[in-house]
C-alpha cells in the first residue's frame, strides 16, 4: 500500500499557522510580483476566484473582503520541509512529489492497520506543523491519487480515504471520475480517449491495456494497470504537477563532496531550465533538496531542503542556477554521504502573460530578448550536438534586484528579526 | 565563609549532546571485547545547544515574547521562546494559545473541569477558556533571555 499525502491549500495553510486571524476568512496568495492568485483558501474559492486569476481583474468587493498576500517562499519551503520530516516518522519510504505532496510507502505494514495509521499521520502533521493534510491510501500511486481526491472532496472520509482494488466504493468513485481527472492523463489525451468511448476512470480501467499502449504510450498502459491495482508507475514516469518542474536523480555512488553535488545540481538545473522554456513558462522560486540514503542506517542521516525566491520570474538558466547554487550552500553539511540531490521550479506562469514589473525599462526589455535568444540557442545546440554541448558557468554572487512583495508576511521561521510575536 | 547568595553555577565541561539524527560523533571506534580504548574518552563532539533545546526539529518553532504578564515564569519582554508543538498541553505547562485571533503565552491551569490561562504576574487575572475561541498552538519548553552585555 502507498499513501499520497497532500497538504490542503498549502500556501494559505502556512500563512494561517502564524496568523490565526486568517482562519475562516477568504485568503489568497499571489504569484511572484503580485501578478495573480496562485493559492486560495476554501472561502476564496467559494467567492468564485479562479486559480491564476489576475489581481488587477478581481472585482473590488472581493479585493475588499479577501486577504491577498504576496508569496513567502522562505516560509513555504521551511514548512514543506517540516511536513516531510514528520512523514518520515511514519515510514522510511517518503518520496517528495512536489512542495506540498509526498508519497509514503507502507510496504510491509499490516494493511488492516493502515487506515488508522493514516488518521494518526494526519493528526500528527496537523499538531506538529499546523498544516492540514489529506491522505489517500491505495495499492498503487494512481489509485492513491484518486483516493486522495476523495479524501479531500468527501467530508465523510475525515481526511483519510483508503481505496481497495475492487469493491463497491472504488467502483462508484472511478465511475464518477472523469478520465481527465486522473493523474497523468492530459486533456488532449482525454479528447482522444473520448473518441474511443472512454470517458470515466472506470472505463479506462476496463480497457484493453495493449490497445491503449498502441493508441497512446507505455505510460498510459501503465496507468491502466495501476487502476487495476498493479503497481507499474514510478515518479520518473510522471510529469510533475502543472505548476512545478522537478529534476532529481540518485547518485550512482554516494558522495559527500560539495563539488560533486554542485556539478549534479548544475546539470539538474540545466535540464529543468530546458523543460521550463520548452513549455514556455517562467519560474519564480527554486527549491533545492538533498538527502542521504535512509536505508543505510549505519551512516549518519540528513535531509534538508530550501526554497530560494528569484528576484523576478525568469526562464534564464543562469539566474536559476545561481539561485540553486546559493540554496545548496545554505543546506550542505559536511560529513554526510549524499544519495540524492534535486531541484524544483515553483510558481510557474506563462511567459507571454507575464506582467512587466515596474523596474523593467526598454533597455532591460532588449536585454531580455537577448537573453531569450541566448537560451534558445543554447537549447538548440544541446539538442542538435549532444547533451551539455554548451553549459553554464555560474555568475558572481551578489546581484540583487528588488522583488515586488508588498504584501508578504514575515519570514517567521527563517529570520531572527521576523519571528512570530506572542503576547505575554 | 562565603557571603555570596546561594545561587551557584556548575560548569558542565565538554559534554556530548545526543539527539536524533542531529549530532554525530566524529569518529567511533569498533566495539571491542577486552580493555576499553583510552581514546574513547576523548570522543566528545562540541556541545550543541541547539540540539539540546530542539528535540523535534519538525515541530519546534522560535517565537518572540512581548509584554510582562509572564515575568514570574522568567519570560520577559523581548525574550526568545522555544516552542515544541509535539508536546501535549498539560495543565501546569506554559503554552502558546491562539486566543481571539492572537497568539498569546500563558500557563495552562485546570480547576475541576474548567481550563484557565494563568499569567505569572499578579497584575493580570486568569482568563477562563470556557466559551471562547481558543486553541493551543504549542508548548513552551525554554526561554532565552539576554542579560546586559550580551550582544543582540
Q: Which of A178-192, A329-343, B4-18, B81-95 shows the highest mean pLDDT?
A: B81-95
Closest residue of chain A to B105, computed from CA coordinates: A424
Q: What is the rounded distance in angstroms from the CA atom of residue A155 to the CA atom of residue A132?
A: 14
Judging by beta carbons within 10 Å of its beta carbon (0-12, 13-18, 19+), is residue A87 exposed, middle or buried? buried
pLDDT band at B18 (very low <50, low <70, confident <90, very high): very low
**Thinking of the domain A245-351+365-379, which architecture would CATH place it in?**
2-Layer Sandwich (3.30)
pTM of the model: 0.75
CATH topology (fold) of A2-162 = Alpha-Beta Plaits (3.30.70)
How is residue B116 annotated by DSSP? E
Give mean pLDDT, residues A198-225.
Answer: 94
Q: What is the pLDDT of residue A405?
A: 60
pLDDT band at A315 (very low <50, low <70, confident <90, very high): confident
CB-based contact A129 B81, cutoff 8 Å:
no
Q: What is the rounded distance in angstroms from the CA atom of residue B89 to the CA atom of residue A299?
A: 35
Catalytic residue among B37, B69, B86, B122: B69
pLDDT band at A231 (very low <50, low <70, confident <90, very high): very high
Which run of H or E residues covers position B152?
Answer: none
Q: What is the pLDDT of residue A363?
A: 52
Q: Which tens digit of pLDDT belongs to each residue from B22-80? A: 444 344 434 445 555 555 566 677 889 999 999 999 999 999 999 999 999 999 999 99
- SS3 per-residue string spanning chain A: CEEEEEECCHHHHHHHHHCHHHCCCCEEEECHHHCEEEEECHHHHHCCCCCCCEHHHCCHHHHHHCEEEECCHHHHHHHHHHHHHHHCCCCCEEEEEECCEEEEECCCCCHHHHHHHHHHHHHHHHHHHCCCEEEEEECCHHHHHHHHHHHHHCHHHCCEEECCCCCHHHHHHHHHCEHHHCCCCCHHHHHHHHHCCCCEHHHHHHCCHHHHHHHCCHHHHHHHHHHCCCCCCCHHHCCCCCCCEEEEEEEEEEECCHHHHHHHHHHHHHHHHHHHHHCCEEEEEEEEEEEECCCCCCCCCCEEEEEEEEEEEECCHHHHHHHHHHHHHHHCCCCCCEEEEEEEEECCEEHHHCCCCCCCCHHHHHHHHHHHHHHHHHHHHHHHCCCCCCCCCCCCCCCCCCCCCCCCCCCCCCCHHHCEEEEC
Name which of A128, A300, A419 is nearest B59 (Cβ-Cβ).
A128
Please state, rounded to an integer, the average pLDDT across all residues of chain A. Answer: 86
Q: What is the rounded distance in angstroms from the CA atom of residue A230 to the CA atom of residue A87?
A: 24
* Confidence check: pLDDT of A52 > 90: no
Judging by beta carbons within 10 Å of its beta carbon (0-12, 13-18, 19+), is residue A259 exposed, middle or buried? exposed
Share of chain A above pLDDT 90, in %: 55
Q: What is the rounded distance in angstroms from the CA atom of residue B59 to the CA atom of residue B48?
A: 19
Q: In the structure grid, which three cell numbers stand for residue B110, read together?
A: 485546570
* Confidence check: pLDDT of B16 > 70: no
Q: What is the pLDDT of residue A240?
A: 60
CB-based contact A286:A327 (threshold 8 Å)? yes
Q: Which tens digit of pLDDT belongs to each residue from A1-13? A: 999 999 999 999 9
Q: In the structure grid, which three cell numbers stand for residue A385, read together?
A: 550536438
Q: What is the pLDDT of residue A198?
A: 94
Chain A and chain B share a number of CB contacts under 8 A equal to 82
CB-based contact A130 B85, cutoff 8 Å:
yes
CB-based contact A294:A356 (threshold 8 Å)? no
Range with lowest mean pLDDT among A18-22, A204-208, A290-294:
A290-294
Q: What is the pLDDT of residue A254?
A: 82
Q: What is the pLDDT of residue A87?
A: 97
Tell me, yes or no, if B106 is annotated catalytic.
Answer: yes
CB-based contact B63 A129, cutoff 8 Å:
no
Q: What is the rounded distance in angstroms from the CA atom of residue A4 to the CA atom of residue A148?
A: 6
Q: What is the pLDDT of residue B118?
A: 97
Q: What is the pLDDT of residue A61?
A: 92
CB-based contact A420 B64, cutoff 8 Å:
yes
Query: What stretch(es) of chain A map to CATH 3.30.1490.100?
Result: 245-351+365-379
Judging by beta carbons within 10 Å of its beta carbon (0-12, 13-18, 19+), is residue A183 exposed, middle or buried? buried
Q: Which tens digit of pLDDT belongs to each residue from A397-413? A: 333 333 456 688 999 99
Range with lowest mean pLDDT among A116-120, A155-159, A369-373:
A369-373
* Cβ contacts of A85 on chain B, cutoff 8 Å: 57-58
Class of domain A168-228: mainly alpha
Range with lowest mean pLDDT among A94-98, A207-211, A419-423:
A94-98
Q: Which of A251-255, B4-8, B52-56 shows the highest mean pLDDT?
A: B52-56
| Bigger pLDDT: A138 vs A251 | A138
Q: What is the pLDDT of residue A275?
A: 87
* Confidence check: pLDDT of B134 > 80: yes
* Confidence check: pLDDT of A47 > 90: yes
Grid look-up 467559494 returns A46
Q: Which tens digit of pLDDT belongs to each residue from B80-99? A: 999 999 999 999 999 999 99
Give mean pLDDT, residues A144-169.
Answer: 93
Question: Nearest Cα to A371, choosing from A424, A300, A319, A416?
Answer: A319
Which B residues, 79 through 138, put their C-beta within 8 Å of a C-beta on chain A? 79-81, 85-86, 96, 98, 101-105, 137
* Confidence check: pLDDT of A120 > 60: yes
* Confidence check: pLDDT of A276 > 70: yes
Q: What is the pLDDT of residue A166?
A: 86
CB-based contact A246:A324 (threshold 8 Å)? no
Strands B127-128 and B114-118: antiparallel
State the smallest CA–CA distance between residue B107 and chain A in angstroms.
Answer: 10
* Confidence check: pLDDT of B20 > 70: no
Q: Which tens digit of pLDDT belongs to each residue from B104-118? A: 999 999 999 999 999
Q: In the structure grid, which three cell numbers stand for residue A81, read together?
A: 520541509
Task: Establish if A421 touches chain B: CB-CB under 8 angstroms.
Answer: yes
Name which of B21, B65, B98 is nearest A424 (Cβ-Cβ).
B65
CB-based contact B103 A129, cutoff 8 Å:
no
From the candidates B59, B62, B96, B140, which should be mutated to test the interface with A, based on the most A CB atoms within 10 A? B59
Q: How many Cα neighbours within 13 Å face the side chain of B9?
A: 2
Query: What stretch(es) of chain A map to CATH 1.10.150.20?
Result: 168-228
Domains, chain B, in order of start with CATH, read 8-15+55-144 (2.10.109.10), 23-52 (no CATH)
Amino acid at each position: 500500500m502507498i499513501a499520497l499525502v497532500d497538504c490542503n491549500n498549502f500556501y494559505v495553510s502556512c500563512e494561517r499557522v502564524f496568523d490565526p486571524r486568517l482562519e475562516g476568512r477568504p485568503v489568497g496568495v499571489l504569484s511572484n510580483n503580485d501578478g495573480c492568485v496562485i493559492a486560495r483558501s476554501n472561502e476564496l474559492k467559494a467567492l468564485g476566484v479562479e486559480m491564476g486569476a489576475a489581481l488587477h481583474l478581481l472585482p473590488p468587493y472581493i479585493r475588499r473582503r479577501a486577504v491577498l498576500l504576496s508569496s513567502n517562499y522562505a516560509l513555504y519551503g521551511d514548512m514543506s520541509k517540516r511536513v516531510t520530516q514528520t512523514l518520515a516518522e511514519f515510514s522510511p519510504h517518503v518520496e517528495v512529489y512536489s512542495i506540498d505532496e509526498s508519497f509514503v510507502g507502507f510496504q510491509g505494514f499490516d494493511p488492516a492497520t493502515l487506515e488508522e495509521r493514516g488518521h494518526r499521520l494526519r493528526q500528527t502533521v496537523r499538531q506538529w506543523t499546523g498544516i492540514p493534510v489529506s491522505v489517500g491510501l491505495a495499492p498503487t500511486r494512481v489509485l492513491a491519487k484518486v483516493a486522495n481526491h476523495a479524501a479531500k472532496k468527501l467530508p465523510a472520509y475525515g481526511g483519510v480515504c483508503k481505496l481497495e482494488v475492487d469493491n463497491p466504493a472504488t467502483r462508484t468513485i472511478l465511475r464518477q471520475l472523469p478520465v481527465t481527472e486522473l493523474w497523468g492523463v492530459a486533456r488532449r489525451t482525454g479528447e482522444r480517449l473520448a473518441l474511443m468511448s472512454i470517458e470515466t476512470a472506470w472505463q479506462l480501467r476496463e480497457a484493453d491495456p495493449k490497445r491503449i499502449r498502441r493508441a497512446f504510450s507505455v505510460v498510459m498502459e501503465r496507468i491502466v494497470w495501476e487502476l487495476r491495482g498493479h503497481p507499474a508507475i514510478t515518479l520518473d514516469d510522471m510529469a510533475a504537477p502543472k505548476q512545478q518542474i522537478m529534476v532529481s536523480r540518485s547518485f550512482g555512488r554516494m558522495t559527500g563532496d560539495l563539488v560533486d553535488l554542485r556539478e549534479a545540481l548544475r546539470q539538474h538545473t540545466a535540464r529543468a531550465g530546458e523543460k521550463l522554456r520548452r513549455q514556455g513558462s517562467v519560474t519564480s522560486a527554486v527549491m533545492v533538496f538533498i538527502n542521504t540514503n535512509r536505508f543505510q542506517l549505519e551512516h549518519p542521516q540528513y535531509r534538508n531542503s530550501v526554497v530560494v525566491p528569484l528576484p523576478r520570474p525568469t526562464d534564464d538558466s543562469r539566474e536559476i542556477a545561481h539561485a540553486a547554487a546559493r540554496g545548496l550552500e545554505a543546506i550542505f553539511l559536511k560529513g554526510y554521504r549524499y544519495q540524492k540531490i534535486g531541484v524544483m521550479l515553483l510558481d510557474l506562469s506563462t511567459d507571454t502573460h507575464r506582467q512587466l514589473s515596474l523596474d523593467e525599462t526598454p533597455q532591460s526589455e532588449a536585454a531580455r530578448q537577448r537573453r531569450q535568444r541566448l537560451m534558445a540557442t543554447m537549447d538548440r545546440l544541446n539538442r542538435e550536438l549532444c547533451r551539455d554541448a554548451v553549459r553554464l558557468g555560474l555568475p558572481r554572487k551578489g546581484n540583487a534586484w528588488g522583488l515586488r512583495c508588498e504584501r508578504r508576511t514575515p519570514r517567521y521561521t527563517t529570520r531572527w528579526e521576523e519571528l512570530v510575536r506572542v503576547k505575554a | 565563609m562565603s557571603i555570596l547568595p546561594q545561587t551557584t553555577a556548575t560548569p558542565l565541561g565538554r559534554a556530548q549532546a545526543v539527539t536524533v539524527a542531529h549530532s554525530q560523533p566524529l569518529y567511533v571506534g569498533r566495539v571491542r571485547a577486552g580493555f576499553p580504548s583510552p581514546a574513547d574518552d576523548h570522543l566528545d563532539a562540541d556541545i550543541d545547544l541547539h540540539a539540546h533545546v530542539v528535540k523535534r526539529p519538525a515541530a519546534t518553532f522560535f517565537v518572540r515574547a512581548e509584554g510582562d504578564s509572564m515575568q514570574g515564569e522568567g519570560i520577559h519582554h523581548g525574550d526568545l521562546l522555544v516552542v515544541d508543538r509535539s508536546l501535549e498541553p498539560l495543565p501546569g505547562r506554559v503554552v502558546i494559545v491562539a486566543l481571539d485571533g492572537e497568539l498569546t503565552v500563558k500557563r495552562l491551569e485546570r480547576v475541576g473541569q474548567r481550563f484557565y490561562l494563568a499569567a505569572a504576574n499578579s497584575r493580570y487575572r486568569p482568563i477562563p477558556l470556557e466559551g471562547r475561541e481558543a486553541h493551543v498552538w504549542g508548548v513552551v519548553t525554554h526561554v532565552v533571555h539576554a542579560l546586559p552585555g550580551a550582544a543582540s
